[in-house]
């Protein structure tokens, strides 16, 4: 039997399915206890503390960013308001599991009512609730296998950052999720780990645990109980493809020698090392949020300076494009109290938050300027979520006042693409964030699997906006996930992109795809793709002008 979703991280994965279930049965309504109230309250408190302790221990084991995330979840489990509510309900006669269920449900309703980021935290709360109830009722705890005998295919409705933070590439052969889209964080994380992944796959959670699954992260096909021949064939094809891609070396360029520097998207020191090992020619998107995530206060100036300096030292003679803090919406920060907004993706995020907290921007720009002093690489600084030339000027002035001379903006809001000519008069370069550009162009939440068809960067309207952003006399990089698709990478170059930036895992295939085609072929593919009505046709037509892709198996 086969299922089909959207392939978002290429490669072939094969192994037994592990279905991540977090559904613990709801304790019966009105259930009561027999002993003393005090004892029942003790039982509830002990279970809450044990879950908090367990989350904290997993955090310590994971370290880094995951540690911060899991520790924040541990804090939620011992939230004083929740504990008081549980105890009150027990005083009213409810058994501990039911009291936990009702107290968490009340909190959950408040969060979902708030929507946006807070609404998304409801899933974290459900996870904690289920763990506590499982402990109280003796149900098995939801969680991932520890030290599995062979790598497994992780199947889930969706994966929270806390689920994936602890995963190791050694243990996971592939990901299949029912929800999520090509630019959701599950997809970005899978690509960063180099693990094949299929998202937006209807029926995925119906896969029985233990059944062998073959995941094709390129085509989006998920085969259940494939024959040995089928697995061997898929593996051979993947190996042949890896060999063809691996044979192409050197800097990014088309077959006729048009240089297209291939840069890396990185969100932390580990990814930096990996990108350099994969032959990145520099850093095209340094996501600084990782320094700020789940912290009560902004990192100290010296900690920021050191992190930026490390990136500059990793690419001697090259360039590093650092994006200033992109907080808000899908990247919330605890220390910047975001207002409760019905649509956080349309609210105060990215550069807009700096308007409200100029001291945070100033501290970051100062740390960047300090890091750049005497550094062996060139530092470029850019702002996310810029909508107007006026905003771009405000940011550029602030950067230049700090001595940062190369200033750019991300083009990820349609208005910025429409007015790229004016923006070009204000900044030194553009970087196209196709993930958000698609989200805002098609009014399709990048986190929602149900609208992932509209999130497709092959949509001709998105290609139009890319074309409008090019040709204004300023370099145009692409750092959205579109640049990681080998065929689309050729089209982006044909539209006028001057550099491409992507996760380390995609560099080889994009390098090989560019080397197999001339600039004129890329232009022709781009022109014909734009002329189509649907994303599927744009992709298909572009491929007919890029004959070298088939030989590479991409
Ligand atoms: C590169 C982008 O930024 P992020 O995915 O971090 O929002 C984008 O929006 O395309
Ligand atoms: Mg973005």
Residue with tokens 């005083």: 91
Which of 374, 368, 373, 290 is CA-nearest to residue 333? 290
Residue from 14, 185, 517, 545 carrying the catalytic annotation: 185
Of 70, 105, 137, the residue that ends a domain is: 137
Whether 297 and 196 map to the same domain: the answer is no
Of 83, 109, 137, the residue that ends a domain is: 137
Instruction: Give me the sign of the Cα torsion angle 311, 313, 315, 320.
Output: positive
What is the rounded distance in angstroms from the CA atom of residue 367 to the CA atom of residue 447? 32
What is the rounded distance in angstroms from the CA atom of residue 77 to the CA atom of residue 62? 19
**What is the extent of the structural domain holding 464?**
258-552
Whether 126 and 224 map to the same domain: the answer is no
Whether 52 and 81 map to the same domain: the answer is yes
* 364 CA distance to ligand 2 middle (Å): 19
Whether 208 and 264 map to the same domain: the answer is no
Q: Residue 415: what pLDDT?
A: 98
**Domain at 172, CATH number:** 3.50.30.10
Residue 175 — φ and ψ, nearest 5°?
-120, 140
pLDDT (tens, 9 = 90+) of the chain, 554 residues, equals 799 998 888 889 999 999 987 667 889 999 999 999 999 999 999 999 988 888 887 777 766 655 666 777 788 888 888 889 999 999 999 999 999 999 998 887 877 776 655 655 666 788 788 889 988 888 766 667 777 889 999 999 888 665 666 678 889 999 999 988 777 767 877 887 889 999 989 999 999 989 999 999 988 999 999 999 999 999 998 888 889 999 999 999 999 999 999 999 998 888 898 899 999 999 999 999 888 876 778 899 999 999 999 999 999 999 999 999 998 877 777 778 767 888 889 999 999 999 999 999 999 999 999 999 999 999 999 999 999 999 999 999 999 999 999 999 999 999 999 999 999 999 999 999 999 999 999 999 887 778 888 888 999 999 999 999 999 999 999 999 999 999 999 999 999 999 999 999 899 999 999 999 999 999 999 999 999 999 999 999 999 999 999 888 78
**Domain at 466, CATH number:** 3.20.20.60
Has residue 205 been placed in a domain?
yes
Nearest CA to ligand 1 atom 5: 435
Nearest CA to ligand 1 atom 2: 433
Nearest CA to ligand 1 atom 3: 433
Has residue 241 been placed in a domain?
no
Whether 438 and 311 map to the same domain: the answer is yes
Which of 270, 265, 276, 329 is CA-nearest to residue 115? 329
Of 137, 164, 197, the residue that ends a domain is: 137
At residue 18, the 3 state secondary structure works out as: strand
Has residue 25 been placed in a domain?
no
**Domain at 70, CATH number:** 1.10.274.10
Ligand 1 neighbourhood includes 436 CB (under 6 angstroms): yes
Query: Do 406 and 370 form a contact (C-beta atoms < 8 A)?
Result: no
Has residue 235 been placed in a domain?
no
Whether 150 and 95 map to the same domain: the answer is no
Whether 74 and 131 map to the same domain: the answer is yes
Whether 344 and 364 map to the same domain: the answer is yes
What is the rounded distance in angstroms from the CA atom of residue 61 to the CA atom of residue 99? 31
Nearest CA to ligand 1 atom 6: 287
Atom of ligand 1 nearest to the CA of 434: 10
Q: Residue 54: what pLDDT?
A: 80
* Total domains present in the chain: 3
Whether 263 and 121 map to the same domain: the answer is no
Q: Residues in the chain, how many?
A: 554
Has residue 245 been placed in a domain?
no
How many helices (DSSP H) and strands (DSSP E) are in the chain?
23, 16
Whether 278 and 345 map to the same domain: the answer is yes
Ligand 1 neighbourhood includes 287 CB (under 6 angstroms): yes
Whether 203 and 306 map to the same domain: the answer is no
Whether 54 and 163 map to the same domain: the answer is no
Q: Residue 63: what pLDDT?
A: 65
Q: Which of 414, 430, 435 to mutate to test the pocket of ligand 1 (most atoms within 8 A of CB)?
A: 435
Has residue 72 been placed in a domain?
yes
Q: What is the 3-state secondary structure (H, E, C) of 253-273?
A: ECCCCCECCEEEEECCHHHHH
Active-site annotation holds for 545: no
* 192 CA distance to ligand 1 middle (Å): 14
Active-site annotation holds for 479: yes
Residue 264 — φ and ψ, nearest 5°?
-115, 145
Has residue 28 been placed in a domain?
no
What is the rounded distance in angstroms from the CA atom of residue 101 to the CA atom of residue 151? 34
The single-letter DSSP state of residue 331 is B
Long-range contacts of 423-428 (CB under 8 A, 24+ apart): 423/386, 423/389, 423/392, 423/472, 424/472, 424/473, 424/474, 425/389, 426/389, 426/392, 426/393, 426/396, 427/382, 427/392, 427/396, 427/474, 428/380, 428/474, 428/475
Has residue 307 been placed in a domain?
yes
Rounded alpha-carbon distances, angstroms, from residue 520 to 302, 438, 525: 48, 26, 9
* 31 CA distance to ligand 2 middle (Å): 47
């Amino acid at each position: 039997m086969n299922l089909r979703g959207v392939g978002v991280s290429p490669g072939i994965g094969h192994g037994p399915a592990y279905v991540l279930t977090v559904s613990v049965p709801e304790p019966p309504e009105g259930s009561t206890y027999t002993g003393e109230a005090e004892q029942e309250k003790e039982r509830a408190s002990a279970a809450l503390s044990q879950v908090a302790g367990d989350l904290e221990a997993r955090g310590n084991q994971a370290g880094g960013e995951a540690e911060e995330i899991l520790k924040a979840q541990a804090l939620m489990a011992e939230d004083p308001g929740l504990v008081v509510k549980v105890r009150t309900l027990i005083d009213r006669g409810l058994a501990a599991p039911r009291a936990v269920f009702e107290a968490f449900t009340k909190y959950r309703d408040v969060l979902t009512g708030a929507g946006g980021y807070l609404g998304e935290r409801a899933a974290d709360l459900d996870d904690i609730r289920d763990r506590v109830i499982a402990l109280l009722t003796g149900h098995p705890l939801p969680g991932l296998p520890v030290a599995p005998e062979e790598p497994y295919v992780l199947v889930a409705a969706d994966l929270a950052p806390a689920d994936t933070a602890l995963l190791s590439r050694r243990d996971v052969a592939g990901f299949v999720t029912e929800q999520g889209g090509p630019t959701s964080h599950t997809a970005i994380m899978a690509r960063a780990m180099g693990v094949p992944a299929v998202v937006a796959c209807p029926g995925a959670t119906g896969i029985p645990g233990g059944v062998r699954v073959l995941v094709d992260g390129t085509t989006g096909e998920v085969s259940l109980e494939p024959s040995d021949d089928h697995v061997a064939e898929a593996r051979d094809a993947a190996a042949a493809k890896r060999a063809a891609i691996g044979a192409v070396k050197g800097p990014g360029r088309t077959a006729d020698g048009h240089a297209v520097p291939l840069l890396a998207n990185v969100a932390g020191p580990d990814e930096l090392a990996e990108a350099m090992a994969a032959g990145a020619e520099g850093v095209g998107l340094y996501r600084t949020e990782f320094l700020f995530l789940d912290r009560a206060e902004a990192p100290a100036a010296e900690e920021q300076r050191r992190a930026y300096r490390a990136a500059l030292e990793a690419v001697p003679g090259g360039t590093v494009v650092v994006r200033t803090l992109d907080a808000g919406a899908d990247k919330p920060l605890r220390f910047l109290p975001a207002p409760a907004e019905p649509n956080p993706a349309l609210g105060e995020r990215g550069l807009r938050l700096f308007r409200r907290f100029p001291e945070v921007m100033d501290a970051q720009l100062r740390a960047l300027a300090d890091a750049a002093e005497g550094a062996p690489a060139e530092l470029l600084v850019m702002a996310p979520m810029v909508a107007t030339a006026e905003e771009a000027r405000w940011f550029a002035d602030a950067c230049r006042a700090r001595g940062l001379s190369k200033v750019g903006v991300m083009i990820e809001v349609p208005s910025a693409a429409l007015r790229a000519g004016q923006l070009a008069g204000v900044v030194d370069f553009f970087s196209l964030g196709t993930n958000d550009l698609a989200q805002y162009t098609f009014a399709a939440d990048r986190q929602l699997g149900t609208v992932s068809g509209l999130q497709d960067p092959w949509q001709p309207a998105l290609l139009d906006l890319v074309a409008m952003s090019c040709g204004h006399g300023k370099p145009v990089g692409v750092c959205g996930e579109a640049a990681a698709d080998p065929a689309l990478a050729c089209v982006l170059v044909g539209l006028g992109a001057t550099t491409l930036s992507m996760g380390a895992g995609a560099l080889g295939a994009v390098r090989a795809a560019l080397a197999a085609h001339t600039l004129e072929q890329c232009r022709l593919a781009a022109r014909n793709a734009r002329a189509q009505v649907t994303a599927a046709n744009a992709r298909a037509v572009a491929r007919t002008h890029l004959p070298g892709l088939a030989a590479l198996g991409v």
